[in-house]
Structure 1
Amino acid sequence: MKAITVFLKDMKILLTKPMLVLTLLGVAALPMLYSSFLVDASWDPYGNTSKLPVAVVNLDKGAVYEGKSMEVGKDFVDELKDNDDFKWNFVNAAEAEDGMAHNRYYMTITIPANFSENATTLTEEHPVQAEIVFEPNSDYNFVAGQIGNSAMSKLKAKLSTQITAAYTRSMFEQVDTISDGLGDAGEGATKLKDGAGKLQGGLSTLKTNLNKLASGTTELQSGLKLLYNGAGSLKQGTGTLTQGTTDLASGLSQLVKAEQQLQAGAVKSQKGAAELNEGLLASMTGSSQLKEGLTASEAASSQLAAGADQVAKGLEQMMVATPGLQENEQFQQLLAASRQVAAGSQQLHTGQEQLLAGSTKLDAGQQQLAAGAKQLSDGGSQLATGLQTFGQKLNQASAGGSKLAAGAAALNTGAVQLGQGLTQLAGGVDGLSEGAVKLKDGAGELKDGAGKLASGSGELAAKLTDAAADTSSVKSGDDTVNMFAEPVKLTEKTDHKLDHYGLGIAPYFLSLALFVGALVFSTVFSLRDSNVPGASPMGRFLSRTLTFVMVSVLQSLLADVVLLYGLKLEVQSAPLFFLFTLIVSFSFTMIVQALVTWLDNPGRFLAIVLMIFQLTSSAGTFPLEMLPGWMQKVNPWLPMTHSIVGYKAIIGSGDYALMREQIVYLLIYAVIFLALTFLYFARQNKRTAAPSKELAV
């Protein structure tokens, strides 16, 4: 069966089934509905901002500037009342906050209480910027907040212009005041010229007197040198005197301490002499008693010695008379003891005699010592009395030495201070002398300068008069003020500008609609099988491909007709717009057909993934440079990238060379994926031919 016959039979069967026809028409209308709804909804969103409710809260208390009342917040509110960019709602802070919380307002504009006050600080040392608080309700609608940001920038520019105009008017008023002041200054400069002439005469007299001052300071300088030398000698002498008086005071203090010790020793010596006298008197009495006792003891010892001798001699006679006793040991011992007692008694008598003689001498010496002790006691009393009188005088001398040392120290300090003062005075006189000379020279220069002042003040008077005339000619009308407030005028060149937002977004929405239309068709109609029994693989390939292309043509024509004639989409060339849409739809159809034919449902999933990639990476909404880096790398390989660029060339720029370049890319995609679809059915054809050969054998 011929391939074209399969397609014709499929179409005949399709026409006999109304539901299939309606489904086919619905799929054909899908890109039209999709693109037209999106483009229409986005046609001119910025032209409908007057429907967006915005809360305005004016808390400004106003201010006084240059003696005039200034209420910038009220003026701003009046400006908004005449502005239809948004639906302005002038409310208090509580209502604005509640409206934002309950999503009644898309944004809130708050004018702070110090707005006018801050606006008047431009000419101050530390100016403060006037602030308007803008609060978008991004939680409610982010895009509305972005639109509000753009509108607030324009309102800020207008308000800044008004404030600048107010400052400019004030500045021109100051210029008028300066003009009057320059006229007065011209008159004053004339008077200054007259005064400068009188000053010149007075400076001549001043210079003469300054010559005398310079001579006098030279003589004073010489005299101060002699005074300074004398002060140096005085300082040296007072230093020596201070040292001597200090040593004297120290010596006297030590002498007072020694005298006090000596006086204390004399008192102790006097007491000791008295005690010694008393002791000697007692000792003399004892020595007399000792002498008497020794005299009696000597007489007794003499008798004892005689008796002991007699006993010894009696025992000897007894032994001679009694020979038997010679052999008696006890008698012999008794005899020997008696002899020893006799000898000891004799020795005792001799010692007693010596003691008696010594006691006699001791008594004589005791009497001499008692006499000397009495003299010593009398001399100690006289010495204590004399040392007491000497101590009193010495204390007076020590106190006088301390006062003398203090006075000498004060004298030395005064001498040092005198030397320092003379040094400073000498320096001051040197400076005075030098200054007098310079003053004399300066007076001469001042005299010359006064002459120049007289000449220059005349010229100044003339210039000030001219300046007053020039400043009075400055224009301060509204045109000049407006020029200062807004010196730059922005002129928009519209060669590359699109009139509506819908024109800029239409390439993206139309490309997306065509891809979605191809994808939806693959879910409604089979891309592998035919309604014709026994259709060959090539017949099915041609039938499915022609059916898909026919639907893509219907989709393209319906979408373009509605966009061009229903929504009045303006393009550079309507024929090229139709042609390009057919090529875009054909390319997307071939891509989806190949994926679904080969993979069925997984192919549809890959087609959806491809669509997602194209939604984000084809630069249909944001510029390519604003996309992430990896998306920028993927962008040139996506079919929708080339369809969007081509549509932009047809709708906006009219760059047909760029359009043709995109057509080449899209046709390359179409041919590649058409060949893949053909390869699938070719493989089916080979599998069918192999069993036929086996049956023939």
Structure 2
Amino acid sequence: MKNSMHLYLKDLKNISTNWVAAILIGGLMILPSLYAWMNIEASWDPYGQTDQIKVGVINNDTGSTVRDEEIHVGNELVEQLKDNDSMDWQFVDEETAMDKVEYGDYYAVIVIPDDFSEKLGTVINDQPTKAEVNYYVNEKINAIAPKITDKGATTIVEEISSSFISTVNGVIFDMFNQLGHELQSSLPDIRQFEDYVFTIEEKLPEIKEVLDESLSDAENAEVMIHDALNLIPRVEEASNQGLSTVNETLNFINDAEERLDEIAPRVNEDLNTIQQAIQDTNEFLESVEPSSMDLLDMNEQMNNWNEQINSTVTSIETVEEILQQIQEEQESGEDSGEDSGQSEENNQEQIENALNELAAMKATLQELQNQLNQVDEMIAEHNQELEDMMANLRETAQFTNERLDAFITEYKETIEPRVREEIQHAKSSLESAKSILTKVQNTIPEAQNILNRTATNLADGEDLLESVIAEYPYINTKINELADEIRQIQGETDLEEIIELLQNDPEAEESFFEEPVKLNQNKLFPIENYGTGMTPFYTVLAIWVGGLLLVSLLATDPHHIEPYTGRQIYFGRLLTFVTIGMIQTIIVTLGDMYLLGVNVQEPVWFILFGLLSSFVFITIVYTLVSVFGDIGKALAIVFLVLQIAGAGGTYPVDLLPEFFQSIHSFLPFTYAINLMREAVGGIVWTKVQHDAAILSTFGLVALLVGALFKARLNKYTHQLMKKSRETGLFH
């Protein structure tokens, strides 16, 4: 150890007494600091200069009309960007912008299309369309610039979205406010609707029963209508037959009336003849005295009377025949369906009485004829009874005359007028029946059409009822679910509270949705700027680079190794390297804080952590070169490359490739950078202890390797170095 100190002190003396060596060593002390300071200064605030990045803006928006109001979102965006100094916005035409971004004069171009406002206006439609902003970037100009311009474009879109959302939400909440007032005024109706739903729920079984009954009634009605349709042909046939019968009856009555007109004079003539014959008979009988009569004259007279009586009987039979025809015609009229009434019954009775009278009169005349015959016989026999017979004959003739007078009076005053009146009444009734039957015939097609339509409507109604009944289980379920939901809402939600919520101030709601979440940023370990954040990495990198510079310019072995052993040389020259390295570290750490103005939370610990890192790095680099020679220099450089990529100094370790993530925990840079970050941002001592212990372990391993293997491996490494120098390429 004494020889090692002797060698160390000798190195210090040589440096201090040789001004060339002093200048070179001084340069080596300052040079690593320049590397760190320049990089820190360059990365001090890179995003603070984005106002010098040129980005073209092309506004092709033609505007739109939304609810009779013109909107020009593109123009509004341009006006906002003119007041935005985050980038150097260039408002040019599309052709110029695309040329400049292609040649690299512009880093990016943002194009607002012509339908930008139109698509934003579709927010009130049932199928809204998202508006688009076209973004062009030239990524070959710079690796970072595209990320910055991407952020600028994203910020523009976010600002548009935020403004649009706040405006739309303002409109929506204004509508909600109006809806709240309308709901408040409609609250009684809503309550009534709830009652309606509950009532429907209660009445659903009854409604189902009514639907079933209605379907049954419809089916029965359909059967009845089909039966009625089937009966229409029979009704039509019956009406045709009735009309034919009425026509025939009318023709018959007209014929009867004509015959009555024809026979009426003859009947009157026959009745007058009968009356005259009876009167002549009475007069003769009154004048005849049987005792004084000439039998021959009487016999002749008797024969005349017989002829007159026969003629009278024939006339009576003629009248009987006429009355019987009238009676039959009236009866046929009744059989055809006509309602004769009380007057027709009286007329029938009168005709019947007249027929009875005629029959009695006929019988009386026949009896008179018989008596005349008997008289004739008595005259022939000269019988004493002639006088009695004549007396009876007179009495019979007188009675016949009286009955005949009464009958003639009855016939002329009652029977004939009554018969004519009834004939006219029958004709009138038949004409009415004919009119009614004609109307029935005319109505049958319409009735048939109505029945057909009714049958069709009933069939449709039946189908509808069946459809409704088929949907009843679904409706019943939905009504019950709706009622249950209303009851649940009534139990869990106060509608008045909802109305009060809807009536909130729309301007306040708009302001809320413009920035619904306000970020309260709490920095546990505040770092002022990007340069301060990068200071630990560049400082640690400068310390390692300082070690590389030392092993590149200074010899790890003295030119005269006697009387030193390998281990003495290792430790003695190590002290020289560590001393220069620590001076380098002091310069770079003090320069970071006081020259660049890096805000370090723990300045003393920042220097101390730097010195610890310097001791470990110098030990590692020195050991590699001292033990392995030029191979050690190559290993130190490779080690540097791996640590720059894998230590997480610039990018989070989680973003690194899997290989660098796997070697991250085995790199000294990892723990040195962590220690420096603790000093810059604020110390967490448990973490410092962990990182300092592992970093010190790397230095201890290097010391052990140098102490144990320098002497043993140097003879091999010296031979390799000697061989390499023979090429004239290596020093």
TM-score tier (shorter): 0.5 to 0.7
Structure 2 CA distance for aligned equivalents of residues 600 and 139 of structure 1 = 42
Structure 2 CA distance for aligned equivalents of residues 175 and 668 of structure 1 = 68
| Secondary structure at the counterpart of residue 529 of structure 1 | coil
Cα 1:181–1:680 shift into 2, 3 Å: closer
Structure 1 CA distance for aligned equivalents of residues 43 and 614 of structure 2 = 22
Quick one: which amino acid aligns to residue 491 of structure 1?
N
Quick one: which amino acid aligns to residue 171 of structure 2?
S
Listed one character per residue, the Cα deviations across residues 516-559 of structure 1 (whole Å, up to 9, x for unaligned) are 11011101010012468755545533431111011111111000
Q: Is 2:542 the partner of 1:513?
A: yes
Shift of 1:139: 0.9
Quick one: which amino acid aligns to residue 632 of structure 2?
G
Structure 1 CA distance for aligned equivalents of residues 621 and 174 of structure 2 = 75
CA RMSD of aligned residues (A): 4.3
**Aligned equivalent of 1:328:** none
Quick one: which amino acid aligns to residue 493 of structure 1?
N
Quick one: which amino acid aligns to residue 671 of structure 1?
L
Structure 1 CA distance for aligned equivalents of residues 15 and 159 of structure 2 = 65
Q: Is 2:662 the partner of 1:662?
A: no
Cα 1:221–1:577 shift into 2, 3 Å: same
| Secondary structure at the counterpart of residue 631 of structure 1 | helix
Q: Is 2:49 the partner of 1:48?
A: yes
Contact kept in structure 1, 2:3 and 2:572, CA below 8 Å: no
Q: Is 2:550 the partner of 1:545?
A: no
Q: Is 2:619 the partner of 1:614?
A: no
Bigger shift: 171-180 or 38-47?
171-180
**Aligned equivalent of 1:200:** none
| Secondary structure at the counterpart of residue 562 of structure 1 | helix
Cα 1:31–1:685 shift into 2, 3 Å: closer
Structure 2 CA distance for aligned equivalents of residues 103 and 432 of structure 1 = 78
Quick one: which amino acid aligns to residue 222 of structure 1?
D
| Secondary structure at the counterpart of residue 69 of structure 1 | strand
Shift of 1:178: 5.7
Alignment of 1:549-588 (within 5 A): 549-588=578-617
The structure 1 residue matched to 2:672, chosen from 628, 631, 643, is: 643
The structure 1 residue matched to 2:657, chosen from 612, 628, 645, is: 628
Cα 1:9–1:120 shift into 2, 3 Å: same
Alignment of 1:371-410 (within 5 A): none
**Aligned equivalent of 2:459:** 431
Contact kept in structure 2, 1:10 and 1:532, CA below 8 Å: no
Identity %: 26
Quick one: which amino acid aligns to residue 510 of structure 1?
T
Contact kept in structure 2, 1:62 and 1:69, CA below 8 Å: yes
The structure 1 residue matched to 2:704, chosen from 667, 675, 679, is: 675
Contact kept in structure 2, 1:218 and 1:433, CA below 8 Å: no
Cα 1:56–1:679 shift into 2, 3 Å: same
Alignment of 1:241-640 (within 5 A): 428=456, 431=459, 434=462, 474=503, 478-530=507-559, 534-640=563-669
Structure 1 CA distance for aligned equivalents of residues 65 and 465 of structure 2 = 57
Cα 1:30–1:181 shift into 2, 3 Å: same
Structure 2 CA distance for aligned equivalents of residues 489 and 589 of structure 1 = 49
Shift of 1:7: 2.4
**Aligned equivalent of 1:127:** 128
**Aligned equivalent of 2:225:** 220
Structure 1 CA distance for aligned equivalents of residues 598 and 649 of structure 2 = 18
Structure 2 CA distance for aligned equivalents of residues 544 and 498 of structure 1 = 39
Structure 2 CA distance for aligned equivalents of residues 150 and 657 of structure 1 = 37
Shift of 1:30: 2.1
Cα 1:187–1:68 shift into 2, 3 Å: farther
Quick one: which amino acid aligns to residue 139 of structure 1?
K
Listed one character per residue, the Cα deviations across residues 247-279 of structure 1 (whole Å, up to 9, x for unaligned) are xxxxxxxxxxxxxxxxxxxxxxxxxxxxxxxxx
**Aligned equivalent of 2:39:** 38
| Secondary structure at the counterpart of residue 522 of structure 1 | helix
| Secondary structure at the counterpart of residue 130 of structure 2 | coil
Structure 2 CA distance for aligned equivalents of residues 100 and 4 of structure 1 = 65
Q: How high is the TM-score relative to the length of structure 1?
A: 0.58
Listed one character per residue, the Cα deviations across residues 386-433 of structure 1 (whole Å, up to 9, x for unaligned) are xxxxxxxxxxxxxxxxxxxxxxxxxxxxxxxxxxx9xx9998587368
| Secondary structure at the counterpart of residue 151 of structure 1 | helix
| Secondary structure at the counterpart of residue 55 of structure 1 | strand
Quick one: which amino acid aligns to residue 38 of structure 1?
N
Quick one: which amino acid aligns to residue 150 of structure 1?
K
Shift of 1:506: 1.8
**Aligned equivalent of 2:156:** 155
Shift of 1:26: 1.1
Shift of 1:475: 5.0
Structure 1 CA distance for aligned equivalents of residues 520 and 461 of structure 2 = 75
Cα 1:434–1:639 shift into 2, 3 Å: closer
Structure 2 CA distance for aligned equivalents of residues 436 and 677 of structure 1 = 103
Shift of 1:172: 4.8
Cα 1:677–1:158 shift into 2, 3 Å: same
Structure 2 CA distance for aligned equivalents of residues 668 and 437 of structure 1 = 93
Cα 1:93–1:436 shift into 2, 3 Å: closer
Shift of 1:63: 0.9
| Secondary structure at the counterpart of residue 122 of structure 1 | helix
| Secondary structure at the counterpart of residue 144 of structure 2 | helix
Cα 1:559–1:226 shift into 2, 3 Å: same
Structure 2 CA distance for aligned equivalents of residues 648 and 617 of structure 1 = 17
Q: How high is the TM-score relative to the length of structure 2?
A: 0.56
Cα 1:18–1:436 shift into 2, 3 Å: closer
Shift of 1:118: 0.8
Contact kept in structure 1, 2:215 and 2:466, CA below 8 Å: no
Listed one character per residue, the Cα deviations across residues 18-75 of structure 1 (whole Å, up to 9, x for unaligned) are 2211111111112211111111111111122122121111111111112211111111
Quick one: which amino acid aligns to residue 131 of structure 2?
A
Shift of 1:514: 0.9
Quick one: which amino acid aligns to residue 511 of structure 1?
V
| Secondary structure at the counterpart of residue 664 of structure 1 | helix
**Aligned equivalent of 2:724:** none
Structure 1 CA distance for aligned equivalents of residues 454 and 180 of structure 2 = 55
Contiguous gaps of at least 5 residues in structure 1? 193-206, 229-420, 442-465, 688-697
Shift of 1:597: 1.0
Structure 2 CA distance for aligned equivalents of residues 540 and 95 of structure 1 = 70
Cα 1:120–1:596 shift into 2, 3 Å: same
Cα 1:473–1:600 shift into 2, 3 Å: closer
**Aligned equivalent of 1:412:** none
Shift of 1:682: 4.5
Contact kept in structure 1, 2:62 and 2:114, CA below 8 Å: yes
**Aligned equivalent of 2:65:** 64
**Aligned equivalent of 1:103:** 104
Give the length in aligned residue pairs.
456
Shift of 1:585: 0.7
**Aligned equivalent of 1:396:** none
Q: Looking at both structures, which has the greater relative contact order when contacts are Cα pairs under 8 Å and sequence separation is at least 6?
A: 1
Listed one character per residue, the Cα deviations across residues 302-355 of structure 1 (whole Å, up to 9, x for unaligned) are xxxxxxxxxxxxxxxxxxxxxxxxxxxxxxxxxxxxxxxxxxxxxxxxxxxxxx
Cα 1:172–1:626 shift into 2, 3 Å: closer
Listed one character per residue, the Cα deviations across residues 137-171 of structure 1 (whole Å, up to 9, x for unaligned) are 21111201112222333332221121123323433
Structure 1 CA distance for aligned equivalents of residues 700 and 543 of structure 2 = 18
